[in-house]
Structure 1
Amino acid sequence: RKHKDSKMDDTELYRNAGRKTSSLLDTFGIPSAAFKTSLQFDRGGKRDLKQYLICYRPEDVTNRHLLLYNGIINYIPGLESELDHISSKKLNMIIAMVSKGMSDGKSADLSSVKHKGLQYIGLNMYSEANALDPPIPEIEDKSMRGLNHPQLAHLLCPWKKLVWFDEDPDSYVSGEITMMAHIWPTFFYEHGVYDAAEKTHGLFRNHIVLRFYKHLFIGPSSVMNDSSNVCNSVKPSKNRAWGLTAVNKYIIAYVHIIISLALLLLTYFMISSAQHWTRCIGDMDLDELLWAIIEMLDDDPWVKDTLAWWNRYIFLCG
């Protein structure tokens, strides 16, 4: 049935809230834990979402649950007013649908870009000189995966260890160079830019992440047409459907996680048999990486400039 405060039916409304939650707020959050903590905390009273967006610290589990809880409440019209009298059965159903939406949204995004996104990696997408060599075919035969692909492994290697990588790429692939959540990989930085004395220089400004954002939030045609204003699609973009008017730190973190997972799955198949959405591959905990990025994007002049850079290059589709 249609929800009284939405044109969607109830099931789709709850699943859509889950899709928004995973992309715009907390990719690895657990709605059931968030609701349990938050309802015990204040018996359903909605806290100020902006307060938690500003004051959140990932080591504070309660605050993380409150952040997720308030985000879901914000994405489901009318739910806040129902919480004082809602039945446990209905609330559990809502939480299950939100969780389903989160899972489906992440899986769909990863599936969408895992192979298509490979053409976004080269600085010039239309130059054979920038193409992946060897190419990675879009097939399910595990033997044809890019196990030790040098260009993809290079992107995942931390900037500070590139000299070591270039001297002996096999050491990196075999795990001698460990990729950790607080050591930024090369693709986190603007192409060819890294300054050990100024580690924020070029950080989160790579051409790859811009293209992945456009693919995920606007549509693949916006990448291939080098445009951010493709508004005539039959299916509305996430930007339009979700009313996004600016990129924030949570979205930037999500895009980096999607790319990291896609590259890890394609490059390190031998480390993990997972070929779908997962939190950990080898020593890399993507949940830790997500919140390390969010923490890095605190409110200071560098962050404001970085967000302005993103929004300048991504003319959000109205």
Structure 2
Amino acid sequence: MPGMNAKLKNIAKKQSQNEKDSTWHQDHPNLDDHALAILRGIRKVVKGIKPTAVDGVAYYYRRARFLATVDTPYMHLPSLFIAELERLDQERNEREQAEDGPFELNIESTDYMRVSLAIHERFANLLWTCWNLREEETRSFLEVLQKGYSGGRQYTTTQFKSNAPFYIYNPNDLPLPHITEPNKALRGWNHEVFARALCPIDQVAKFDENPADYMADVANSRIVITEDSTFPSFLYRDGLVFDPENPDEGFLEGSMFLKFLNHDLAGPSAACGGMPIGSRSSKAVLYGLKGISPRITASIAIQTYVACSSMPEFDAEDGTVDLIELHAHLVRILEEKDDETQATLARVRSAVPHLLRAPKGKRRSRKADVPKPDRPNPVDKILELRAKRREAAAQQAAAQEAAAQAPPAQTRSPQRSIHFDDDEDMEDEDEARKRVTLDPSGCEFDIYEVLEPTLWPFDTDVPPLAARIDQDEDFTEDEEGAQVAKKGKVKGEKATGAGRLGDDHGDKENSGRSQSSHRSAKEATPAPSSRSVSTSPRTPLAEKHPRHKRKVPGGATDDDSGSRKKRCTLTYKSTLAAEPGSSRRTS
């Protein structure tokens, strides 16, 4: 309805104005001006305008509708308030006649103050101010509030009446016989299921023995049930075996009672424990409730009793049961301050999980009076993780900066020995042992194997080498093949002046291997790659030292006439440091 939506928007816009400038607002600081605005609104209501459409009056009218639930369903507001107002008026007149000082407002009725506070915290003073301004219009104001109170109670009664047939049964049980919604004549003691719900809890065992006989005895007054009997069984846990010595066990845990409690406070869709799906806020949110009080619990229990009974409409008596007294009994037991009562109320509160739920954008500022759970704040978690990431990033940046500023490590590679076989006898042993400087700029070296596995130390175009003939060793021609396969091989081309050097294992563990195994291993060895150190022509090593002839594959030499050979060791040492992390190996 577009017209209704526009009207509601206008009302909301007016209510959002500054409270101090709106005399009809309930929180206006000037109580006299606010009372005059209320009385002007009452005149409009008397002329036929709905109370909900009059500014100022609408707020108190809505609050009165909820009094039947929040306080008691048996109350007449004009009688309650006017009786106390007349007493105060008489006391003031007596004080003025006796000239016994100024009159002070002293309200003696506890019901007057309790109901006034349920409407608004300043309602008692507002009513006294209106009474002093215009008494007749104040009476009309109270009559309007009574209509709101009765309308709210009747609405709850109607809701409970229509839903009682659905809430009384266990969802797994089939209802027999069928219960028609509008007709209540078949409820109460005229229906077995409803009769068991109204039966006193200490009589349920007897009722279950023969329900028909028990119902007939109640109808014929052979069994009299009054408000002084034990509480009805619908207030207790389903299937409970009542213990007279422990009447608190299962109290206010009945399934039908809890369904009606959720229905009235959270909404019909939440009656069976589901999430409310209505577009309106719950009563608890609309009326600013912070919890479930003893009087709210007692009022819902009375409305549940009326829904189960055969009473055609809401009344104060059901046969021999005085419902006003039953309500008073429930309030009395629930207003006790002992631990058992507090535990019972806590169970009732936990049974309404969606008490303060409201649609998005309609939640009020009030919060439930339940202890806040001790759980980590999600914002604190996010900030903590961010701080950890920043700290880790700072540490990583500092480590990188320190690594960049640190000087490179100046390490020298250890000496390495490359063995090759000489073809001829060494004439001068002293000359063979002297140190010579070898410039490999014109040579190409193919290193098959190095004694000690290590990183290749030459990382420049022309690495300086220092070489010396370290040792000679005699060996026979018969041992030549095994020695070649064992210790490596140096090949060189005379035309290019290249020397190919093979490494000597020198490992004693390999000394016992057979000649055939070594030869097959040598034949399976892939051709070595050539590393060109420099392209400038230099004098080959073989030309500098003619006695160092190239070894021929298969154990032969360029000069096969000699039967005795010597092996020399060429030791080189790099004067450059290998780069950290270099992984190039000789293989």
**Which range, TM-score by smaller chain?**
0.7 to 0.9
What is the CA deviation profile of residues 170-226 of structure 1, one whole-angstrom value per residue up to 9, with x for unaligned ones?
2134443222213211112122222111122222221211110111121111124x2
Identity score, percent: 22
1:208 alignment partner in structure 2? 256
Residue in structure 2 matching 1:4, options 12, 25, 29: 25
1:289 alignment partner in structure 2? 326
2:195 alignment partner in structure 1? 153
Higher strand share: 2
Task: Determine the C-alpha separation between the residues in 1 that align with 2:74 and 2:188.
Answer: 27
Query: What is the 5 A alignment of 1:149-228?
Result: 149-166=191-208, 167=210, 168-169=213-214, 170-183=216-229, 184-193=231-240, 194-224=242-272, 226-227=273-274
C-alpha contact (below 8 Å) 1:187/1:206 kept by paired residues? yes
Task: Determine the C-alpha separation between the residues in 1 that align with 2:302 and 2:185.
Answer: 25
Is the alpha carbon distance of 1:5 and 1:309 closer, same or farther for their aligned partners in structure 2, counting shifts above 3 Å?
same
Q: Does 1:249 align with 2:294?
A: yes
Q: AA paired with 1:4? A: H
Task: Determine the C-alpha separation between the residues in 1 that align with 2:234 and 2:337.
Answer: 23
1:303 alignment partner in structure 2? 341
Is the alpha carbon distance of 1:296 and 1:10 closer, same or farther for their aligned partners in structure 2, counting shifts above 3 Å?
same
Task: Determine the C-alpha separation between the residues in 1 that align with 2:196 and 2:339.
Answer: 30
What is the CA deviation profile of residues 143-180 of structure 1, one whole-angstrom value per residue up to 9, with x for unaligned ones?
76676110110111112222432332321344432222
Task: Determine the C-alpha separation between the residues in 1 that align with 2:287 and 2:148.
Answer: 15
Q: Which has the higher contact order (CA 8 A, sep 6+)?
A: 1
1:271 alignment partner in structure 2? none
Q: AA paired with 1:294? A: V
Residue in structure 2 matching 1:237, options 273, 279, 282: 282
Is the alpha carbon distance of 1:84 and 1:115 closer, same or farther for their aligned partners in structure 2, counting shifts above 3 Å?
closer
Aligned-pair Cα RMSD in Å: 2.9
Q: AA paired with 1:32? A: P
Is the alpha carbon distance of 1:70 and 1:312 closer, same or farther for their aligned partners in structure 2, counting shifts above 3 Å?
closer
Task: Determine the C-alpha separation between the residues in 2 that align with 1:38 and 1:281.
Answer: 31
What is the CA deviation profile of residues 108-161 of structure 1, one whole-angstrom value per residue up to 9, with x for unaligned ones?
111111121221122x33x2x2x4311211245x77667611011011111222
Moved more, 172-181 or 196-205: 172-181
Q: Does 1:30 align with 2:56?
A: no
Q: AA paired with 1:158? A: P
Higher helix share: 1
- C-alpha deviation, 1:285, in angstroms: 1.4
- C-alpha deviation, 1:75, in angstroms: 8.3
How many residue pairs end up in the alignment? 289
TM-score, with structure 2 as normaliser = 0.45
- C-alpha deviation, 1:67, in angstroms: 3.1
Q: AA paired with 1:289? A: L
1:55 alignment partner in structure 2? none
- C-alpha deviation, 1:259, in angstroms: 0.6
1:14 alignment partner in structure 2? 60
- C-alpha deviation, 1:85, in angstroms: 3.3
Is the alpha carbon distance of 1:75 and 1:147 closer, same or farther for their aligned partners in structure 2, counting shifts above 3 Å?
farther
Task: Determine the C-alpha separation between the residues in 1 that align with 2:341 and 2:106.
Answer: 29
Q: AA paired with 1:148? A: N
Task: Determine the C-alpha separation between the residues in 1 that align with 2:220 and 2:193.
Answer: 15
2:178 alignment partner in structure 1? 135
What is the CA deviation profile of residues 228-258 of structure 1, one whole-angstrom value per residue up to 9, with x for unaligned ones?
x52x523322111112221110110011000
1:115 is paired with a residue whose SS is: helix
1:317 alignment partner in structure 2? 356
